[in-house]
Structure 1
């Protein structure tokens, strides 16, 4: 259907929210901004609400109207417009990947940093294949063995961002110690291999891993896990909240800053990096006995 409304992807929402912020900063109403570029207000409203396509040249026209001069901002928003509907490798798994998950994978591909507090599982970007299969099978409940294997493949394919040749993704993960004491009855070597993988990833210059010890005092992470996804060119961060039936994105600046402040406090409550690595090695050794 040629006139179907575009699906409001996270990329399109980020673009719309950014354009709205610049318009507000310029002190322009929706009508005044639309009139300045020769549009009707409803068109601009649909763009800001992620319900319409916008071409990179139109993004540039709006930014000039709003008095934006930073070339990096122009490039970042023009790229968002260009890539808003771009298909990624994960589209091969379109029958398995829910729209919210596809959105998140696209965010990872755009991001330059992710800060994650994972209270219940090792973060997906740091998992082994066996750990991914076991945990996906336990969480999804209704997936077939073939679907579980495919979802594990997706999870491992996502990890390519950690070693991409240009601009490897920077990951800062806080993992509670209790997560690393989990046991797998069917494959008891699963956690041992996962601990080894964590040590290997911790050696990468772009990966920081801290362990929240069992004796830690209460901290904001006690309210639940979250991921803070950061982007280049000073683009605003996005927060991901996950649950059994999907994912929720937090995109407002004030709300995102709340999570950023919370992450800083969680970092302060966790073990230092060297102590965390030593604890991982100790737990791995215990799993070998």
Structure 2
């Protein structure tokens, strides 16, 4: 079953999809249970994400629901295979909150990642020095050993983007670019790193300018994830002072997909964003000479 007997992000996603397909096929849980020679209680626990699903059971259920072959079926079978897969980050699990593990799991599975950040540079774009400084500035005291693990995990998360494993679009508010919150040298290094990251084919970086006005206040930081060949938002994570919340309800996903589209429309184009960042970087270097 999922670690600790609790639903994981992967098991919840799989369970939700199985429930939706069962309902679309107008079958109840008792009828679905007959397909895999199980009890209705097992179908209920599979659909709630409380138990892992065998690939053969998923395949049989999807066939009964009329979902055969194609990308949808393949994706759900992959979820079943990976529901208990041990991610690289789990070696640091003792130092990470359960909600943060959920966020990393979503990143690891995603084909598209969209992120709005009005406070700091996104974690997927941070240098190790910037990550260390941001972690040290946390409201909560973080022991040095845990801090070291957190930074290592943050750097590890970036491999997904660096290796081209997902398409990544980030929108960053201009004050983050223009006004260093940390040491000036760290800020310059961070700006240079963002410029280099923006050259990757799978990465798009846009700056939301001061002139966008109230658009920046539409929502706090969030990340949106898609897991298919189409960039349909299927999960959203929100950061707060005490952790990360995962949203999966359809209305929530629609709202955040629309919010990102509004932010993207108000942001500078990638080329103009890069020019702005280069200008700030040149100016900051000039002030030190």
In which range does the TM-score fall when normalised by the shorter chain? over 0.9
Superposed, 1:270-281 pairs within 5 Å as 270-281=267-278
Superposed, 1:177-196 pairs within 5 Å as 177-184=174-181, 187-196=183-192
Superposed, 1:115-194 pairs within 5 Å as 115-139=114-138, 141-164=140-163, 167-184=164-181, 187-194=183-190
Residue 260 (structure 2) aligns with: 263
**RMSD across aligned C-alpha pairs, in angstroms?**
2.0
- SS state at 1:218 partner: helix
Q: Could you say if the C-alpha distance between residues 273 and 11 of structure 1 is closer, same or farther in structure 2, counting changes exceeding 3 Å?
A: same
Report the CA distance between 1:259 and its aligned residue. Answer: 1.0
Residue 287 (structure 1) aligns with: 284
- SS state at 1:278 partner: helix
- SS state at 2:86 partner: coil
Q: Which is further off, 229-238 or 194-203?
A: 229-238
Matched, 1:239 2:236: yes
Report the CA distance between 1:195 and its aligned residue. Answer: 0.4
Report the CA distance between 1:145 and its aligned residue. Answer: 2.6
Q: What is the CA–CA distance in structure 2 between the aligned matches of 1:287 and 1:63, rounded to whole Å? A: 58
Contact 1:5 1:51 in 2 (8 A): no
Report the CA distance between 1:184 and its aligned residue. Answer: 4.7
Q: What is the CA–CA distance in structure 2 between the aligned matches of 1:223 and 1:260, rounded to whole Å? A: 12
Residue 65 (structure 2) aligns with: 66
Report the CA distance between 1:219 and its aligned residue. Answer: 2.3
Q: What is the CA–CA distance in structure 2 between the aligned matches of 1:154 and 1:263, rounded to whole Å? A: 26
- SS state at 2:67 partner: coil
Q: Which is further off, 200-209 or 27-36?
A: 27-36
CA displacement, residues 89-112 of structure 1 (integer Å, 9 cap, x when unaligned) = 111212211111112212211111
TM-score by length of 1: 0.92
Q: What is the CA–CA distance in structure 2 between the aligned matches of 1:4 and 1:241, rounded to whole Å? A: 23
CA displacement, residues 149-190 of structure 1 (integer Å, 9 cap, x when unaligned) = 2211111111111122xx5211100000011234355x3201
Matched, 1:77 2:76: yes
Contact 1:117 1:221 in 2 (8 A): no
Report the CA distance between 1:32 and its aligned residue. Answer: 2.5
Contact 1:47 1:54 in 2 (8 A): yes
Report the CA distance between 1:86 and its aligned residue. Answer: 1.1
TM-score by length of 2: 0.92
- Pairing partner for 2:224 from 211, 225, 228: 228
- How many residue pairs align between the two structures? 285
Matched, 1:199 2:199: no
Report the CA distance between 1:27 and its aligned residue. Answer: 1.5
Contact 1:213 1:271 in 2 (8 A): yes
Q: Could you say if the C-alpha distance between residues 107 and 197 of structure 1 is closer, same or farther in structure 2, counting changes exceeding 3 Å?
A: same
